[in-house]
Amino acid sequence: MSPEQTPEASGKSLFSLQRRERLMEELRAHGAITVRDVAARLGVSELTIRRDVNILADEGLLSRVHGGATLPSPLDRTAAGTRQHANRHCIGMVVPSLDYYWPQVISGAREAADEQQVRIAVRGSTYDAADNRRQVQALLDTQNIDGLIVAPNMTGPAGQELLRWLNSLPIPVVLAERRSPAEIPAHRLEWVATDHAFGAGMAVRHLWQEGHRKIGCMTDSASPTSSHVVRGWEQAMSALKIPVNASVSEDSAGILGADRGEHFDRILQLCHETQTTAMLVHSDTQAVAFVQHCVDRGIDVPGSMAVVGYDDEVAYLAEPAISAVRPPKRYVGRVAVQLVSARLSEGRNRPVHRIELNPDLIVRESSVGGPRAAADYAMEDSL
Amino acid sequence: MSPEQTPEASGKSLFSLQRRERLMEELRAHGAITVRDVAARLGVSELTIRRDVNILADEGLLSRVHGGATLPSPLDRTAAGTRQHANRHCIGMVVPSLDYYWPQVISGAREAADEQQVRIAVRGSTYDAADNRRQVQALLDTQNIDGLIVAPNMTGPAGQELLRWLNSLPIPVVLAERRSPAEIPAHRLEWVATDHAFGAGMAVRHLWQEGHRKIGCMTDSASPTSSHVVRGWEQAMSALKIPVNASVSEDSAGILGADRGEHFDRILQLCHETQTTAMLVHSDTQAVAFVQHCVDRGIDVPGSMAVVGYDDEVAYLAEPAISAVRPPKRYVGRVAVQLVSARLSEGRNRPVHRIELNPDLIVRESSVGGPRAAADYAMEDSL
DNA sequence: CCTGGAATGTTCGAATCTGAATGTTTCGGA
DNA sequence: TCCGAAACATTCAGATTCGAACATTCCAGG
């Protein structure tokens, strides 16, 4: 650059903006400056430099210290933006699991919270309504919570009661991956949810395009999303004129360990009988186990049995890698935070929002290539 | 370049544009200029230079300082965000009407456009699919449109074709007050719409709470929202165990002028026969006419006939003032713009959003007080 | 030749910037 | 803990610059 003599001292005076830029340059170069040095170097009075330092500190571009200034420090309590820290809102978040599906939702929520300048307090819970309520209550008790994001269990009377309770809270509540039914008086509840029915339909249409004409469905009725997956599967099947009643549709709720082998064998038998060549498997942990079982039994995936998983948490780990429907988990968290935040700042005038997001279909090995030409039973009614 | 004598002082005066170019040259050469210097050099008054500086600062080409100008500086608070001004996005908006319902939607869209720093170009159209397409095409032809907000007619083959065309456009498209059906391949289309079914249900429940036990519905099948209103009315009626089949449900599409009197008389007759004491009337222009007709016929509103309108455009003008469901029109516009804007900045990774907003019920005179105690026929099966 | 509008210039009170004077706070060593 | 020096805040004044209102000039078109 031009580190010759002080070009400022040579008669030419600077505009205030240029002076502040010079000041920032010095600051960036040395990490800290003294008022006296800078004043001497720029040929102005110390008072002027102090004023500049104040202006820049107000914009958060540096931290004031006695005698000068340093680069912005997080320890600087007076720093710009810190002021809101005190009264910035805090959103409580209660999710049913901290190791499956929800970590990404939380991650998205944290991103949005940073952007929206709100704090966020997360608690893990279970898929049990009573525990959901306990965790929410714990949040409300311990912290100053201005809004809530919850993914409660909504089934049965306990679920309905929980919903009603959430609806009656004096703070905004947003459901994540849950929909408040129109029937019960929970119309004040906003929600953001993935359109799992659409995701299931996408999977079915994908399998159809790959040449499969009998497409089964394996679900886990214990999961709140399962009903939507089944509905989407049925709708897509109807649209494609595949008889739903004659198709394989199995529930794997609560089947674990040794039972699982039997269960899968039974399903494979059903597929054989109905000439089903493709399965949509809800929860891709289940899909991974199913593919593993197929491989163990010598059934080629995808040649004899194509598989599409749901959730895309672990589907890529299987061998062969499993195609899966991927819900926009990060966005579910993001949007939930945005909803709460907007509600907090806009108040009652803002209408209740209900938001559905479309998932993606991630195509991997387990579903491409279509029914194998030499398959023992899959050819008969393929195109 | 040309540092010869001052070619300006030598009699020749410059056009303003040339003068500003010279100014920018000086600025680039020295990094900063003083108004006084430039004024002297170019042989014009200081005020003129100040005006030039203001103009150039507005375009973000320099930063104003007391006494002159510098090259654009990040420290210049007033310049922040102005830089995007040049390449900021432009959203096209095509609405079916410019005098009913949509002005408020447009107004909300403009608000959001200001906030999001995007421009917006609105065109009025009609409720005809062919004209919708013409107007969209006109927008695309004449302007540099980066995204679209449309409220098309989606009925019939022409509507389906229009939807497909919109879906195939290379720019983001958001439907306003319309829902893309899951069936046809328009799944890339995002939308924001009022939940009119919820609004109708709210009206029915309100009338029920006011004591009405037979609640009719008058709609205009020519309007795209009408089907949702009817659906909401039916759902609420079922939930309240009011037989839908035995209730008054009339379509007033295309009935104008003199015919209207007869039509209303016929509906009033039906209400009398079925002991219906309350009507939900879609489009509150219709509601105003209906209430006027009732008053003319000596039927007390709300005593003998309670009325709730829909849309809340003119409902407050009637005598008595009419209760009405008020869709969040401004928010429909706001959210639509936000959707397009977010899509433009986030691209494909962002999942497709579909957003429903709840309307409000504005209670006025026409629906409060319940069926009149002395009503000729309304008492028999009230509570 | 006139006229209307755009660009430019003049005037003058208001706003801004800077630095000196003065009183107050903070820091670091005794 | 106290004290003195340095750093800081506050106020005021002088100089400069800004900008609104009005006047002037220039130019195209009737």
Considering only the top CATH level, what class is B89-195+330-359? alpha beta
What pLDDT, on a 0 to 100 scale, did the predictor assign at position A379? 40
When pLDDT is cut at 50, 70 and 90, the band that residue B40 belongs to is confident
Task: Note the CA–C1' distance, A15 to D14, in angstroms.
Answer: 19
Q: Which among A166, A357, A353, A163 has a CA at the least distance from the CA of B198?
A: A353
Which stretches of chain B sit within 8 Å of chain A by CB?
31-32, 63, 65-68, 70, 73, 75-77, 182-183, 187, 195, 198, 201, 235, 239, 328, 331, 335, 350-360
CA distances from B198 to A51, B234, B358 (A): 58, 11, 7
Tell the CATH superfamily of the A196-328+362-367 domain.
Response regulator (3.40.50.2300)
Amino acid symbol at A350? R
What pLDDT, on a 0 to 100 scale, did the predictor assign at position B257? 73
Q: For residues A212 and A342, give the distance between their C-alpha atoms in angstroms, rounded to a whole number.
A: 46
DSSP secondary-structure letter at B71? Answer: S
Whether B74 has a pLDDT exceeding 90, the answer reads: no
Q: For residues B139 and B144, give the distance between their C-alpha atoms in angstroms, rounded to a whole number.
A: 8
**Is cis: bond before A359, omega within 30 of 0?**
no
Whether B6 has a pLDDT exceeding 50, the answer reads: no
User: Between chains, do B65 and A351 touch, taking CB under 8 Å as contact?
Assistant: no
pLDDT along chain A (383 residues), means of 10: 38 78 87 88 89 87 87 69 62 94 95 90 93 95 91 92 93 95 78 96 94 93 92 94 88 80 91 93 92 91 92 91 96 97 92 96 89 49 40
pLDDT tens digits, B201-254: 999 999 999 999 999 999 988 888 999 999 999 999 999 999 888 888 888 887
Sequence ranges of chain A with CATH classification 1.10.10.10: 1-87
Q: Find where tokens 């007759």 sit.
A: B269
Q: How many residues does chain A have?
A: 383
State in Å, rounded, how far the first CA of chain B is from the last one: 94
CA distance B340 to chain A (A): 15
Nearest CB to A21 within list B75, B77, B331: B75
In contact, A325 and A312? CB cutoff 8 Å: yes
Q: For residues A63 and A71, give the distance between their C-alpha atoms in angstroms, rounded to a whole number.
A: 6
Show the 3-state SS of A129-191: HHHHHHHHHHHHHHCCCCEEEECCCCCHHHHHHHHHHHHHCCCCEEEECCCCCCCCCCCCCEE
Q: Find where tokens 């939702």 sit.
A: A105
Sequence ranges of chain B with CATH classification 3.40.50.2300: 89-195+330-359, 196-328+362-367
Sequence ranges of chain A with CATH classification 3.40.50.2300: 88-195+330-358, 196-328+362-367
Q: What percent of chain B has pLDDT over 90?
A: 55
pLDDT tens digits, B165-202: 999 999 999 999 999 887 666 778 999 999 999 999 99
Give the contacts of A357 (CB within 8 A, at least 6 positions apart): A192, A193, A194, A195, A327, A328, A331, A332, A335, B351, B352, B353, B354
Let me know the angle formed at the C-alpha of A239 by A238 and A240, rounded to the nearest 5 degrees: 90
Whether the CB of B54 is less than 7 Å away from nucleic strand D comes out as yes
Q: For residues B327 and B358, give the distance between their C-alpha atoms in angstroms, rounded to a whole number.
A: 7
The answer regarding whether domain B16-79 maps to CATH 1.10.287.470 reads no
Name chain B contacts of A356, Cβ cutoff 8 Å.
353-355
Task: Note the CA–C1' distance, A47 to D8, in angstroms.
Answer: 9
What pLDDT, on a 0 to 100 scale, did the predictor assign at position B209? 92
- Both tokens of B378, joined, read 């309304």
Measure CA A58 to chain center: 35
What pLDDT, on a 0 to 100 scale, did the predictor assign at position B2? 35
Q: Find where tokens 């040309």 sit.
A: B2
User: Between chains, do B358 and A187 touch, taking CB under 8 Å as contact?
Assistant: yes
What pLDDT, on a 0 to 100 scale, did the predictor assign at position B326? 96
Q: Which among B333, B219, B236, B363 has a CA at the least distance from the CA of B283?
A: B219
User: Between chains, do B195 and A16 touch, taking CB under 8 Å as contact?
Assistant: no
CA distance B318 to chain A (A): 25
Q: For residues B70 and B35, give the distance between their C-alpha atoms in angstroms, rounded to a whole number.
A: 11
- Both tokens of B316, joined, read 């407050």
In contact, B146 and B89? CB cutoff 8 Å: yes
Give the contacts of B75 (CB within 8 A, at least 6 positions apart): A17, A20, A21, A24, A56, A59, A61, B63
The answer regarding whether domain A1-87 maps to CATH 1.10.240.10 reads no
User: In the A/B pair of chains, how many CB contacts fall below 8 A?
Assistant: 79
**Cβ < 7 Å from nucleic strand C:** A 15-16, 19, 44-45, 47-48, 51, 66; B 14-16, 19, 43-45, 47-48, 51, 66
Let me know the angle formed at the C-alpha of B279 by B274 and B284, rounded to the nearest 5 degrees: 155
> What is the CATH number that goes with domain A88-195+330-358?
3.40.50.2300
Give the contacts of B54 (CB within 8 A, at least 6 positions apart): B64
Q: Which among B331, B359, B357, B354 has a CA at the least distance from the CA of B343?
A: B354
Name chain B contacts of A328, Cβ cutoff 8 Å.
351
What pLDDT, on a 0 to 100 scale, did the predictor assign at position B87? 61
Sequence ranges of chain B with CATH classification 1.10.10.10: 16-79
Nucleotide in closest CA–C1' contact with B67: D17
